[in-house]
Chains A and B, each alone.
Chain A
Amino acid sequence: MRRQVPLILCFAFGIVMALTEFSPHPFSQWLNEEIIDWTLVIGPFALVLAVATLVQSHWTRIRRRSEYWQYSFLVFIGMAAMVLIGIPLGQRHEAFVWLFRYAQVPMDATMFSLLAFFIASAAYRAFRARTLEATLLLAAALIVMIGNAPVGDLIWNTIIPFEDNLPSTARQWILDNPNLSARRGIILGISLGVISQSIRIILGIERSYLGGVEGD
């Protein structure tokens, strides 16, 4: 019963939502909009679940004294500070905005900025023209990188008085043609995969989303 009820619900809602997408009948449209309203109500529960999972996983780290377990206390302190200020005072309160602007923004930005250093180091060490494919990729990457910075056009226009702004034009051509074709192929592949997986889930063939051990 624990598995049958979710399977029946999944089948019913999957079929109904798929059919209502193709029917312009007022009842069909009403049903579609009604179900969307239900999911809007269900949505916030995902946040509750996320908070519960975060607390659970960090509490487990502290209990087991896993590597760097001390940092889990920082997670709790940060979360408690934002919640204790955000809920009673509101998100527009000075204290909440101050914490966001002077704690969260710099920390988040710093983490992301570090990527630039690692990318530069990794590019030097790993980006080698070992094969024809790697050479093509390398050439495309260098052209896009130079075309993405105005200095590329400036250098080209100063040194070579032929075809103004060639780096940015070449970059745009790469993005508009080989990149677009490859990306479209990927999108088509992903879409076909999503459709087939959805059909498997709706029909109850794919049940891993239910969790637990097969046959429970």
Chain B
Amino acid sequence: MIEKLMNIDRRIVFILVALAVIIPSLLEVSFPITVSQPTRSTYDYIEALPPGSTVMIGFNYGPSSLAELHPMAKAVIYHCFQKQIRVIGMTLLAEAATLGDNMLKDVAAEAGAVYGQDYAYLGFRPGATQVLLGMGTAIDSVFEADYAGTSLTEIPLMADVTNYEQVDLVLDLASGSSTEWWITYTNTRYNQQIAAGVTGVIVSQMYPYLQTKQLIGLMPGLLGAAEYEKLIDRPAKGTEGMSIQSFAHLLVVGLVILGNITFFIQRRQGE
């Protein structure tokens, strides 16, 4: 029996994972969400910004991390539009260019935001760190036109946003190292306020920057999205995903505990 458990066919584990994902999504179970301090700090900072402020959002994640970061982007952008805070989108990743454009258009349609006045999307430019440094001098030295090819001089929003001095907050939505680039090149050099929303895999790397206040806030993966949705009282994909995440995490915890119990029994039998 123990031997069987130790050498369980991995396809059984795969089926259990599939069930842990499928069942809660069909049952639509929901759990109460506790908001963590780093997410609340991000919310509080944006909430305190006066109407007409500017938030720059870096869509620095590809389609593989879309499930975690898209709900977060949606919640924060909606919050900004609700507060009449202007949003400038951009990306340092080629594959995220279309993704950021679609997201801004979708949320703008829901919130009734107008392109050019309430938001603008600059798209992608290669050379990550040079892009970040270049925008410190003049945004139009890096992005001479927006994603649709319209010159920045023809976009009303960009008339009074020339560099980081007019940007009240940068929010980096990242699945890689881009948050660290923002911190190194824009926070340290230009004293730019930065918040981040990152995938669960890299969230632990961000805590030193949170403690030094180089990050004013941090949203951890899908949980961060759910927390932000709770704060703006608009449950959506993040909140829905929490039931799936809960069951999947419980399953993995259960498997680890079971694996260790069988390991100890086998070791005792061996002795």
Hey, which bits of chain A sit against chain B, CB under 8 A? 33, 36-37, 39-40, 42-44, 46-47, 90-92, 96-97, 100-101, 104-109, 111-113, 116-117, 119-121, 123-125, 127-129, 138, 141-142, 145-146, 148-154, 165, 168, 172, 175-176, 179-180, 183-184, 187
Give the residue of A97, A138, A145 whose beta carbon is less than 8 angstroms from that of B260: A138
Give the total number of A-B pairs whose CB atoms are below 8 A apart: 172
In the docked arrangement, what's the CA distance between A137 and B98, Å? Answer: 40
Expressed in whole angstroms, the Cα–Cα distance for A106 and B221 within the complex equals 19
Min CB gap A192→B, angstroms: 15
Residues of B within 8 Å of A, CB-based: how many?
Answer: 71
Q: Are A44 and B65 in contact (CB under 8 A)?
A: no
Provided the pairs A97-B102, A179-B207 are in contact, do residues A120 and B66 lie with their beta carbons within 8 angstroms? no
Residues of B within 8 A of A142 (CB): 253, 256-257
Given A104-B95, A108-B64, A175-B207, also A123-B255 (CB < 8 A):
yes
**Extra pairs beyond A39-B130, A120-B251 (16, CB < 8 Å):** A33-B137, A40-B125, A42-B127, A43-B127, A91-B98, A104-B95, A111-B64, A116-B248, A123-B255, A123-B259, A124-B8, A150-B226, A151-B31, A175-B203, A176-B211, A183-B207
Question: Does B16 reach chain A (CB closer than 8 Å)?
Answer: yes
Q: Are A151 and B208 interface neighbours, CB within 8 A?
A: no
Complex CA gap A119/B18 in Å reads 13
Given A92-B148, A97-B102, are A120 and B16 also a contact pair (CB < 8 Å)?
A: yes
- B31 in contact with A172 (CB, 8 Å): no
Q: Does B97 contact A (CB under 8 A)?
A: yes
Chain A residues with CB under 8 A of B247? 151
Taking CB atoms and an 8 Å cut-off, the chain B residues in 80-117 that contact chain A are 94-95, 97-99, 101-102
Q: Which of A39, A91, A108, A149 contacts B63 (CB 8 A)?
A: A108
Task: Provide a sorted-by-A list of 27 A–B residue pairs whose CB atoms are within 8 angstroms.
Answer: A33-B137, A36-B133, A37-B141, A40-B134, A44-B126, A46-B126, A47-B126, A101-B102, A108-B64, A111-B64, A116-B17, A116-B21, A117-B13, A117-B18, A119-B252, A120-B248, A120-B255, A124-B255, A142-B256, A142-B257, A146-B249, A148-B221, A148-B223, A149-B242, A168-B36, A172-B36, A175-B207
- Of the candidates B123, B134, B211, the one whose C-beta lies within 8 Å of that of A36 is B134
Closest to B211 in A: A180
Contact B253 A187 (CB under 8 A): no
Where the two chains meet, the residues of B that have a C-beta atom closer than 8 Å to any C-beta of A are: 8, 10, 13-14, 16-18, 21, 31-34, 36-37, 62-67, 94-95, 97-99, 101-102, 123, 125-127, 130-131, 133-134, 137, 141-142, 147-149, 200, 203-205, 207-208, 211, 220-221, 223, 226, 242-243, 245-253, 255-260, 263-264
Q: Which chain B residues border A44 with CB–CB below 8 Å?
A: 126-127
A40:B208 contact, CB within 8 angstroms: no
Q: Establish whether residues B32 and A43, one from each chain, have CB atoms under 8 Å apart when the complex forms.
A: no
Which B residues touch A96, using CB under 8 A? 98
Say yes or no: B259 contacts A125, CB within 8 Å: yes
Nearest A residue to B242 via CB reads A150
Query: Are B256 and A124 within 8 A (Cβ)?
Result: yes
| Contact across chains for A40 and B142 when beta carbons are under 8 A apart | yes
The 8 closest A-B pairs by CB, nearest first: A43-B127, A151-B246, A150-B31, A108-B63, A112-B64, A149-B246, A105-B63, A149-B249
**Which residues from chain B contact A36 at a C-beta distance below 8 Å?**
130, 133-134, 137
Contacting residue for B208 out of A116, A124, A128, A187, CB 8 A: A187
Measured in the bound complex, the distance between the Cα atoms of B218 and A22 in whole Å is 30
A120 with B17: CB separation less than 8 A: yes
Which residues of B sit under 8 angstroms from A150, Cβ to Cβ?
Answer: 31-34, 223, 226, 242, 246
Judge whether A183 and B208 touch: CB under 8 Å: yes
- Which of B62, B63, B149, B223 is packed against the most chain A CB atoms within 10 Å? B63
- CB pair A105–B66 under 8 Å, yes or no, is yes
Q: Are A109 and B147 in contact (CB under 8 A)?
A: no
Complex formed: what's the CA distance from A176 to B131 in Å?
Answer: 32
Centre residue among A121, A153, A184 by max chain B CB count within 10 A: A121
Contact B63 A104 (CB under 8 A): yes
Closest to B98 in A: A100
Cβ contacts under 8 Å, A168 to chain B: 34, 36
Contacts of B148 in A (CB 8 A): 92
| B203 contacts across to A, CB distance below 8 A | 175
| Residues on B with beta carbons closer than 8 Å to the beta carbon of A33 | 137
